[in-house]
Structure 1
Amino acid sequence: MKARIWGARGSLPVALTHKQIRAKLVTALEGAIGRNLDSTDKVVDYVDNHLGFEVSGTYGGNSSCVEVEAWDTDTIHEHIVLDLGSGARPLAGSKLAKYGPGKPQTYHVFMSHLHWDHIMGFPFFTPAYIPGNRIIIYGCHKDLETAFRRQQEPISFPVGFQQLGATIEFVQLTPGVPQQVRDVTVTAKLQLHAGDSYGYRLEQGGKTLIYSTDSEHKLDNAAERVAFVDFFRDADLVIFDAMYSLADSISVKADWGHSSNVVGVELCQLAGVHKLCLFHHEPIYDDAQISRVLAETRRYAEITGEAPLEIVSAYDGMEIAL
């Protein structure tokens, strides 16, 4: 099983500004002074091995969308997608474009919730326009179908839902009741968020992936803490909403429906998780700020953990093999 991050931002998409790109260029060129970068190989080595990711790359700006590759999709024409934020557009454009008309595919889409940043990519999800495709949208919300149809009404979008060429189906899930997708078992869990959200536990061949975004964790709720530790138990990878600092999540942004890097570490340590992926980045954070959060999170885990916990920060285009 492999996770591909196509959208890692929270709340709304963002883009690098002229000022931010200029700052990266200045930092990179300053660091190049005296390095005698007179060949392509030297330049590539400098960019890849001497610049921090916050300078040489970017965490990206698309809102939540994660592809789960559970089998060879060139042989088995079925795909698993978690949420359809704006990251669904590059997923369709770069990864799924080869499956055009005449190559029918089935897409299993599991929705954490129905807020706009998690469904806004659907009108630009090319597979939905291709006859012969089958798109099955799973979720625990009773208004699942309504949300998707409403955002394509004429006042909001020029292409109506009824004009989509693919067969679109909606499946209502019950939290705690497993849903089978070939040999992948998917189980939903209710999370604390305005209007409710649901995390997903995906299990296949002894590997476990947790997708838990848009979830607030109250530190004084012991029962909820135990429930999430059980949900995360022994996972190979937890993709976790770490939008806020702990201080913000329990003060000025309490009840906003999101969590922190510190809570993510503590839950994963208690659950025996192997790898934690910080996700749903605050849209006002630039690449340098996200890198600082990652470094601080790793230090915190080293100080507090008895067993090693690998920690990464999600970026658009990231691949994580389990």
Structure 2
Amino acid sequence: MLVRFWGTRGSLPVAATATIVQDKVAQALLAASGRSFADLDEARSFARNELDFATSGTFGGATTCVEIEAGDPAAGDPFIICDMGSGLRGFGLDAMRRCSEGHARTYHFFMSHLHWDHIMGFPFFVPAFDPNAHIVIHSGHEDAETALRRQQEEISFPVSFDWLRARIEFVTLKPGETYRIGAVQVEVMEQHHSHSSFGYRFTDASGKVAVFSTDSEHKLEKMEGEADVAHFFREADLVICDTMYSLADSVSMKEDWGHSSNIVAIDLCHGGRAKRLALFHHEPVYSDADIARMHAESMRYEELTREHDPLEVLCAYDGLEVQL
């Protein structure tokens, strides 16, 4: 199983400003401390190997979209995608390339919920205009089709949903049920969020498990009621978890906003004996340095509270690939 992150921000897309880029260049120049480089490749090597990620790279600005690649695409196994944030546009372009090389033109979406940052990429999803494509949209919400059609009404978008050429169908899933899609088994869990959200547990034929759990609020003072979540995360090879806020933000001014913290995610993963956690759904006002700082604090907290095997803590960014 291979997990690709196409969009990792929450709430709305963000882009680096000229000032942010200039600051990164200035920091890189300071770190180079007068060094000269023979060519571009040598300079790239310095950036990749000697600069911290917040200086040499970026966590990105696209909203939620994650691809789960499992099975054998050449044998007809479909694309599996979690959410349709603005990162979906990049996935769609790459998917068209892969389809031209023989990948099946079947797309199974699993929707956490229907808020705009999680569906805004669909009007720009190129395969939706492919008459040979088959798109199946799975959701725990019976009004998923209503939400997607509404954002493409003429007052909001110039291309009507009815102009799309792919064969599109909607499937309503039930929490607690298990479904078979291509090479994976999918379990569904309802979560705490406005208008509800749903988490998904994907298990491939080899037993590898990836959990997608975003836009869910887990309160620190009510963790005794989260045993079902820890069970859903049980022994997962990767848990992609909503860690939008710091603990301080999540228990103060942003309580009841429907999101969780890095601290709570680690506690839940420890409880479920998960192997790896990806911090996800980054707060749009957080800079790359802010996110990197939260990542470092998360790793330290995991180490201090560890009672069993280590939990590897990753920080998701647009373009990250994780092989399970």
Contact 2:235-2:273 within 8 A present in 1 as well: yes
Contact 2:6-2:87 within 8 A present in 1 as well: yes
- The answer for unaligned runs of 5 or more in structure 1 is none
Displacement of 1:281 in angstroms is 0.1
Secondary structure of the residue aligned to 1:220 is: helix
Distance in 2, matches of 1:305 and 1:102, equals 45
Distance verdict in 2 for CA 1:248–1:72, change over 3 Å: same
Q: 1:321 aligned to 2:302?
A: no
Secondary structure of the residue aligned to 1:6 is: strand
Distance verdict in 2 for CA 1:103–1:320, change over 3 Å: closer
Contact 1:77-1:105 within 8 A present in 2 as well: no
Letter in 1 for 2:305: T
Contact 1:240-1:276 within 8 A present in 2 as well: yes
Stretches of 4+ aligned residues off by more than 6 angstroms: none
Contact 1:136-1:169 within 8 A present in 2 as well: yes
Contact 2:187-2:200 within 8 A present in 1 as well: yes
Displacement of 1:223 in angstroms is 5.1
Question: Which residue matches 1:32?
Answer: 32
1:16-36 alpha-carbon deviations (Å, 9 max, x no partner) = 011100000001111112333
1:144-293 matches, within 5 Å, as 144-204=144-204, 205-222=206-223, 224-293=225-294
Q: 1:16 aligned to 2:9?
A: no
Question: Which residue matches 1:308?
Answer: 310
Distance in 2, matches of 1:185 and 1:53, equals 35
Letter in 1 for 2:315: S
1:178-198 alpha-carbon deviations (Å, 9 max, x no partner) = 111023111110110011000
1:80-95 matches, within 5 Å, as 80-95=80-95
Distance in 2, matches of 1:162 and 1:144, equals 15
1:192-211 alpha-carbon deviations (Å, 9 max, x no partner) = 00110001011112111100
1:82-129 alpha-carbon deviations (Å, 9 max, x no partner) = 000000001112343342599761100000000000000000011110
Displacement of 1:318 in angstroms is 0.4
Aligned CA RMSD, in angstroms, stands at 1.6
- The answer for unaligned runs of 5 or more in structure 2 is none
Question: Which residue matches 2:105?
Answer: 105
Q: 1:73 aligned to 2:64?
A: no
Distance in 1, matches of 2:223 and 2:217, equals 14
Count of aligned positions: 322
Contact 1:141-1:172 within 8 A present in 2 as well: yes
Give the TM-score normalised by structure 2.
0.96
Give the TM-score normalised by structure 1.
0.96
Question: Which residue matches 1:45?
Answer: 45
Distance in 2, matches of 1:85 and 1:276, equals 21
Distance verdict in 2 for CA 1:70–1:101, change over 3 Å: closer
Letter in 2 for 1:63: T
Letter in 1 for 2:67: E
Contact 2:245-2:262 within 8 A present in 1 as well: yes
Distance in 2, matches of 1:113 and 1:13, equals 17
Secondary structure of the residue aligned to 1:235 is: coil
Distance in 1, matches of 2:104 and 2:237, equals 32
Letter in 2 for 1:66: V
Secondary structure of the residue aligned to 1:303 is: helix
Distance in 2, matches of 1:209 and 1:317, equals 17
Distance verdict in 2 for CA 1:102–1:47, change over 3 Å: closer
Letter in 2 for 1:177: E
Distance verdict in 2 for CA 1:252–1:161, change over 3 Å: same
Report the more deviating stretch, 230-239 or 37-46. Answer: 37-46
